[in-house]
């Protein structure tokens, strides 16, 4: 199986997803809002995709800004 | 009458005109975005979601809130107040309010009273600290909520919100503030003022369009407030139960996103102006108070100084009813609001019930000439009233 190259952050609401998107735009970490992939389930229809190698920084920033998330998954 | 300039002095009802950026943002949203936020995940839906999010963020900044998702949108301040009052009180609960409230507070409270909630109305005292003391003395075992307006929409006086907030926090009672008249023109910091829930109008001092308003809800409070509406939120779509998280818990149904686009531009305008709005409105209030004070037959109700108040001024002319005054003003192009201003309680407190008052409420875009024209009109009407 091919190794995942992206991860996604799942959120409770679109407001949280957009909050996170805005934060990451300020940090230069490339992110993109995408519809939640079929194999995952989330409260909110969109999620934030990031490049897999950025995962530690992504987690760290979400943590520091205390943005509630539903989870982080490779895709 | 043709040729008479329109002077709008009814900003306490809804502000007008709006900053140019508000008109542009709404036109732009309707033409270029238009989609429903958070429902579909496509580009325009996400863009619409960003409009709503940006509005939350601007409001969070204005009110000193760290987490923008604590801002919930409603159709107006009335709906916001109903969410909290109807959503958290149960028969047997006790609630405290003041004698200066608008019917958007009093009517939901009176309805709750009919359902078995006990309501205490603390008499309004011109010296604010006295009133906060009255609130404290009214607190009992079963007191669940204190509701106060930040400023009266009739007399323009500020209520002692910071003092009351301190008391509420100390006694563990939820503190709800009706900031319909003050959001945008008075500094509000929900942390410093110990405000648990703040209700605001989007269409007054925040310069958004009608049909906008909302709430700030402190972290954790949502477990105690039932939503007024249940329905689709775009989130947790597989579940037939309302989500418990903010803002979705209280935002069922397609929102007024075009209104939010306007509100966002309005709040950003307020943030850009900084303290200039309050300073200007204080000047306008001072000029009106000074002018009205020198006109024989004119009685200004409530506080006479420009300090501790907003630019909302109620007056009467002896021998004339408030509607006669307002019709006289309209002949001079001046638009104001006569009567009871949806606030019978406040008028009882001021001793102006049931005839009411004429209310002048200038705004940030009111000029010195507008104020002078209004004062000149009042002089003429008062002279005529006294003569006839
Ligand atoms: C003190 C006060 N509270 C509440 C309201 C209700 O606001 P809205 O018209 O946004 O429902 C108003 C104004 O109408 C008001 O002046």
Number of domains comprising chain A: 1
Number of domains comprising chain B: 2
- Tell me whether A43 touches chain B (CB under 8 Å): yes
Q: Which whole number is the average pLDDT over B344-352?
A: 91
Q: What is the rounded CA–CA span in Å between residue B29 and residue B244?
A: 30
Domain co-membership, B202 together with B247:
yes
Assign residue B41 a region (left: φ > 0; alpha: ψ between -120 and 50; beta: otherwise).
Answer: left
How far does the CA of residue A19 sit from the closest CA of chain B (Å)?
7
Last residue of one domain, picked from the residues B209, B244, B273: B273
Q: Which whole number is the average pLDDT over B214-227?
A: 97
The partner residue sitting opposite A19, judged by closest CB among B40, B69, B236, is: B69
Q: What is the rounded CA–CA span in Å between residue B137 and residue B122?
A: 9
Residues in Cβ contact with A11 at an 8 Å cutoff, skipping those fewer than 6 apart: A17, A20, A42, A43, A44, A46, A47, A48, A67, A68, A69, A70
Q: What is the mean pLDDT of chain B?
A: 95
CB distance A51 to A61 below 8 Å: no
Domain co-membership, B250 together with B296:
no
Q: Which whole number is the average pLDDT over B184-206?
A: 98
Is residue A45 assigned to a domain?
yes
- Quote the DSSP letter at residue B6: P
Last residue of one domain, picked from the residues B229, B246, B273: B273
Is residue A1 assigned to a domain?
no
For residue B354, whether the previous peptide bond is cis, meaning omega lies within 30 degrees of 0, is yes
Confidence of residue A6 (pLDDT cuts 50, 70, 90): very high
CB distance B234 to A45 below 8 Å: yes
Where in the sequence is the domain holding A58, given as residue range(s)? Answer: 6-74
Q: Looking at residue A2, what is its pLDDT? A: 58
Residue B101 Cα to ligand 1 midpoint, Å, equals: 10
Domain co-membership, B99 together with B233:
yes
Nearest CA to ligand 1 atom 16: B153
Contacts of A34 in chain B (CB under 8 A): 41
Q: Which residue of A has its CA nearest to B52?
A: A15
Is residue A31 assigned to a domain?
yes
Last residue of one domain, picked from the residues B273, B295, B314: B273
Domain co-membership, B51 together with B153:
yes
The partner residue sitting opposite A18, judged by closest CB among B53, B67, B237, is: B53
Is residue B132 assigned to a domain?
yes
* pLDDT over 80 (residue B236): no
Domain co-membership, B296 together with B362:
yes
Burial class (CB in 10 A: 0-12, 13-18, 19+), B209: buried
Cβ distance of B235 and A35 shorter than 8 Å: no
Is residue B84 assigned to a domain?
yes
Contacts of B260 in chain A (CB under 8 A): none
Q: Is B74 helix (H, G, I), strand (E, B) or coil?
A: strand
Distance of CA B383 to the CA centre of its chain: 35
Q: What is the rounded CA–CA span in Å between residue B62 and residue B67?
A: 12
Is residue B7 assigned to a domain?
no
The partner residue sitting opposite A43, judged by closest CB among B41, B53, B235, is: B235
The count of C-alpha atoms lying within 13 angstroms of the C-alpha of B383, restricted to the half-sphere facing its C-beta, is: 7
Computed on alpha carbons and rounded to an integer, the radius of gyration of chain B in Å comes to 21
Q: What is the pLDDT of residues B60-103, one digit of tens each?
A: 999 999 999 999 999 999 999 999 999 999 999 999 999 999 99
The count of C-alpha atoms lying within 13 angstroms of the C-alpha of B310, restricted to the half-sphere facing its C-beta, is: 30
The partner residue sitting opposite B56, judged by closest CB among A15, A33, A66, is: A15
Is residue A60 assigned to a domain?
yes
Q: Is B241 helix (H, G, I), strand (E, B) or coil?
A: coil
Is residue B208 assigned to a domain?
yes
Q: What is the pLDDT of residues B27-71, one digit of tens each?
A: 999 999 999 997 777 899 999 999 999 999 999 999 999 999 999
Is residue A23 assigned to a domain?
yes
Q: Which whole number is the average pLDDT over B238-252?
A: 91
Domain co-membership, B228 together with B283:
no
CATH number at residue B30: 3.40.640.10
Where in the sequence is the domain holding B119, given as residue range(s)? Answer: 20-273
**From B166-180, B226-240, B334-348, the region with the lowest mean pLDDT:** B226-240
Q: Which residue of B has its CA nearest to A35?
A: B41
CB distance B175 to B194 below 8 Å: yes
How far does the CA of residue B191 sit from the closest CA of chain A (Å)?
18
Is residue A62 assigned to a domain?
yes
- Tell me whether A49 touches chain B (CB under 8 Å): no
Instruction: List, by residue number, the catalytic residues of B.
Output: 342
CB distance B42 to B168 below 8 Å: no
Q: Looking at residue B111, what is its pLDDT? A: 98
Residue A23 Cα to ligand 1 midpoint, Å, equals: 34
**CA–CA–CA angle B184, B186, B188 (5° rounding):** 90
- Tell me whether A41 touches chain B (CB under 8 Å): yes
- Tell me whether B68 touches chain A (CB under 8 Å): yes
Domain co-membership, B351 together with B243:
no
CB distance B121 to B94 below 8 Å: no
Portion of chain B with pLDDT greater than 90, in percent: 88
The secondary structure of chain A in percent helix, strand, coil, rounded to multiples of 5, reads 35, 30, 35
Is residue A54 assigned to a domain?
yes
Is residue B1 assigned to a domain?
no
Confidence of residue B235 (pLDDT cuts 50, 70, 90): confident
Is residue B197 assigned to a domain?
yes
Q: Looking at residue A3, what is its pLDDT? A: 59
CATH number at residue A22: 3.30.70
Q: What is the rounded CA–CA span in Å between residue B12 and residue B48?
A: 30
CATH number at residue B280: 3.90.1150.10
Contacts of B233 in chain A (CB under 8 A): 13
The secondary structure of chain B in percent helix, strand, coil, rounded to multiples of 5, reads 40, 15, 40
* Ligand 1 pocket mutation, candidates B77, B312, B337, criterion most atoms within 8 A of CB: B77
Q: Which residue of A has its CA nearest to B39?
A: A45
Q: Looking at residue B292, what is its pLDDT? A: 97
Contacts of B241 in chain A (CB under 8 A): none
Q: What is the rounded CA–CA span in Å between residue B263 and residue B57?
A: 12
Token pair in block for residue B132: 């906060």
> CB within 6 Å of ligand 1 — which residues?
B 76-78, 102, 104, 149, 153, 178, 180-181, 201, 213
Nearest CA to ligand 1 atom 15: B180
Q: What is the rounded CA–CA span in Å between residue A3 and residue B64?
A: 44
Is residue B231 assigned to a domain?
yes
Q: What is the pLDDT of residues B289-317, one digit of tens each?
A: 999 999 999 999 988 888 899 999 999 99
For residue B17, whether the previous peptide bond is cis, meaning omega lies within 30 degrees of 0, is yes
- Tell me whether B36 touches chain A (CB under 8 Å): no
Domain co-membership, B216 together with B337:
no
Q: Which residue has the higher pLDDT, B13 or B129?
A: B13
Is residue B145 assigned to a domain?
yes
């Amino acid at each position: 199986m091919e190794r995942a190259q992206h991860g996604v952050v799942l959120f409770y609401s679109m407001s949280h997803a957009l909050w996170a998107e805005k934060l990451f735009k300020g940090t230069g970490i490339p992110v993109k809002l995408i519809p939640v992939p079929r194999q995952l389930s989330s409260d909110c229809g969109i999620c934030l995709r990031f490049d897999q190698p950025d995962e530690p920084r992504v987690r760290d920033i979400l943590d520091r800004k205390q943005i509630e998330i539903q989870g982080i998954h490779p895709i | 009458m043709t040729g008479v300039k329109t002077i709008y002095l009814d900003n306490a009802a809804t502000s007008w005109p709006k900053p140019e950026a508000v008109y542009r943002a709404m036109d732009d949203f309707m033409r270029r975005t238009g989609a429903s936020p958070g429902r579909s995940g496509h580009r325009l839906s996400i863009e619409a979601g960003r409009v709503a999010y940006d509005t939350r963020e601007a409001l969070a900044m204005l009110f000193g809130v760290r987490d923008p998702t604590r801002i919930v949108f409603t159709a107006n301040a009335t709906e916001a107040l109903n969410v909290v009052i109807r959503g958290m009180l149960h028969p047997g609960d006790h609630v405290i309010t003041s004698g200066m409230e608008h019917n958007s507070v009093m009517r939901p409270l009176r309805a709750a009273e009919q359902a078995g909630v006990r309501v205490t109305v603390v008499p309004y005292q011109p010296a604010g600290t006295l009133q906060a003391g009255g609130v404290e003395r009214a607190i009992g075992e079963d007191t669940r909520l204190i509701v106060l307006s930040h400023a009266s929409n009739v007399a323009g006086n500020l209520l002692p919100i910071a003092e009351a907030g301190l008391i509420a926090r100390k006694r563990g009672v939820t503190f709800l503030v009706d900031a319909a008249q003050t959001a945008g023109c008075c500094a509000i910091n929900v942390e410093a003022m110990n405000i648990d829930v703040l209700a605001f109008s989007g269409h007054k001092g925040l310069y958004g369009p009608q049909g906008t308003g909302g709430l700030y809800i402190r972290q954790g409070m949502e477990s105690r407030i039932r939503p007024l509406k249940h329905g689709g939120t775009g989130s947790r779509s597989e579940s037939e139960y309302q989500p418990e998280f903010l803002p979705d818990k209280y935002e069922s149904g397609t929102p007024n996103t075009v209104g939010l686009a306007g509100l966002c531009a309005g709040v950003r305008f307020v943030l850009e102006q900084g303290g200039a709005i309050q300073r200007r409105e204080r000047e306008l209030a001072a000029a009106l108070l000074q002018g009205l004070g020198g006109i024989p037959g004119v009685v200004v109700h409530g506080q006479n100084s420009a300090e501790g108040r907003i630019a909302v001024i109620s007056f009467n002319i002896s021998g004339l009813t408030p509607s006669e005054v307002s019709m006289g003003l309209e002949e001079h192009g001046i638009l104001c609001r006569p009567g009871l201003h949806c606030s019978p309680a406040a008028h009882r407190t001021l001793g102006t019930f049931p005839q009411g008052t004429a209310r002048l409420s200038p705004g940030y875009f009111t000029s010195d000439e507008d104020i002078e024209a209004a004062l000149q009109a009042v002089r003429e009407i008062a002279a005529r009233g006294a003569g006839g």
